[in-house]
Structures are given as C-alpha cells and as structure tokens.
Amino acid sequence: MISVIAAAWLLLIAFFDARKQSIPDALSIGFLVFAIVIRAADGSLSLVSLFIATGFFSVLHVLSRGRALGTGDVLLAAGIGALLSNISLVILWIIISYALGAAIITLFFGATILRAIGYA
C-alpha cells in the first residue's frame, strides 16, 4: 500500500513538473515528510541516503543558479533518498535519473536548453 501511495504522489509531482516546470512546495515537502515518517516507522530510515540525494541535487541547483533545478527538485530528491533509504539504491537512482534526464533534454531541446541555463 505504501508503494502505491508513493507512486501516486510521484506521478502527481511529475504532472505538475511537466505542466508548469515547477513542483509546489506542498507536494515536495509533503512527500519528504511522508518518506521520513514511513522509513522511521519501519526502522529503516537512512539519513546518509537522504543527505547523498539532497547533496547531489543541491550541487546541481547551485551550479545552474536555480535554472536547471529548483528547490522543489532538491526537496523531491531528499524525499526519494529517504524513501529508498539504501545508499547503493540512491547512487543508482542518481545515475539513472541524471543520465535519463540528460538524454531527454538533449533529445527534445538540444543545445537550446543548455544555452538557456548557461552550459553552452
């Protein structure tokens, strides 16, 4: 049941992000709190996983000056890190999401988006 709730929540976040290029704080913070409560309740919360995910996406947020990733993305990453609560899974998720995101951006937007965020 928790997996279904998490999946539905993430789909809702994806919908908002795709439509508005913004994740409402209520959704991202709510997901973070949900993930922490769930993992704390079952005794598997890994703050290291949460900090790895948050740290990686925070660096991307700072490097892009908030143009490529907003604070909602960073909060979402923290929630996913807390929900996964496994260092290996978090690192795998970061690699896959980063590669998939880069491929999608390149495929659909090419160099236009890279110029817009100051990378080209």
Min mean pLDDT across 2-6, 7-11, 67-71, 77-81 is at: 67-71
- Are 57 and 73 in contact, with CB atoms under 8 Å apart? yes
pLDDT of residue 110: 66
pLDDT tens by residue, 24-53: 889 999 999 999 999 999 999 999 999 999
Q: pTM score, two decimals?
A: 0.82
Question: Are 82 and 30 a contacting pair, CB within 8 Å?
Answer: no
Long-range own/partner contacts, residues 51-60 (CB < 8 A, 24 or more apart): 51/81, 52/81, 52/87, 52/90, 52/91, 52/94, 53/77, 53/78, 53/80, 53/81, 53/82, 53/84, 53/90, 53/93, 53/94, 54/78, 54/81, 56/94
Look up residue 48 and give its two tokens.
């290291």
- Domains of the chain, residue spans: 2-116
pLDDT at 103: 80
